[in-house]
Amino acid sequence: VTKSFAVRNIAADQVMGKCEACEKPWDMYRGKRRCPTCGVPSLVCRECIEADQAGIRKLGKAVRCDLCVAEDIRNKRELKERDEKKMKEYEKKLRQKLENNYVPPIQRKHAMTRKPKPNPERITRLFLKNMCAKQMDESKLLEFLQPAKVTHIQWLTDRNTGRFYGSAFIEVKSAEDAGSVLALDGLIILGRKIQIKFQRADEKDIWPIPNTKVSS
């Protein structure tokens, strides 16, 4: 008897959960019963299920999942109110970030592992577009284009308003740098999918143009 009792204790210690009705150690889902509040499958032991089926001890609405018990959620109305409250709190935090000129992090996923694009013509001038006009600046662009060495940036602006509209020409130090920049085409920077292509300067144009050298 002592040995059998010890074996049962060891088995109980290894059980991960407990019956939601009688709270004895139990970790097997049986039957089709679900939490009456949130609808997840109920963790109820064999004895409690059999007692419910025989009408000896019914599994009423008070038998809920551990999460609903922990959060004191007793019905679907309270569950809906909790979810709405969490959503309002999330929206409030999001609005606060936007009001405080929140800047999303620069996403350079896989950028360091992408292989530089071929550049047989040794072009060192590139055209970038679809950048975030409100938040893009020199420091953010240089961070995104690392490890390429950018020497000049020509920000393209509206002729009437003078506002930057999300496109720019850049000059890089070497053809290899240009290939690594082109490899970033299609990545997300400040929430926008940037587009990059080689753009050789026209023979009639002055390039790099004055006052476009990046600050050291």
* Closest listed residue to residue 145, CA positions, set 82, 187, 83: 187
Percent of the chain clearing pLDDT 90 (strictly above): 47
- Stretch 104-132: mean pLDDT, rounded? 79
- Stretch 50-72: mean pLDDT, rounded? 90
Please report the pLDDT score of residue 157 as a whole number.
94
- Stretch 29-39: mean pLDDT, rounded? 86
Q: Residue 8: is its pLDDT beyond 90? A: no
Q: Residue 107: is its pLDDT beyond 60? A: no
pLDDT band at 205 (very low <50, low <70, confident <90, very high): confident
Residue count of the chain, please give it.
Answer: 216
Please report the pLDDT score of residue 117 as a whole number.
93
User: What residues have CB less than 8 Å from 155, skipping those under 6 apart?
Assistant: 164, 168
- Stretch 192-203: mean pLDDT, rounded? 92
Q: Are 61 and 86 in contact (CB under 8 A)?
A: no
Q: Are 177 and 124 in contact (CB under 8 A)?
A: yes
Please report the pLDDT score of residue 1 as a whole number.
45
Report CA dihedral (113, 118, 123, 128) to the nearest 10 degrees.
-50
pLDDT band at 83 (very low <50, low <70, confident <90, very high): confident
Please report the pLDDT score of residue 106 as a whole number.
57
pLDDT band at 100 (very low <50, low <70, confident <90, very high): low
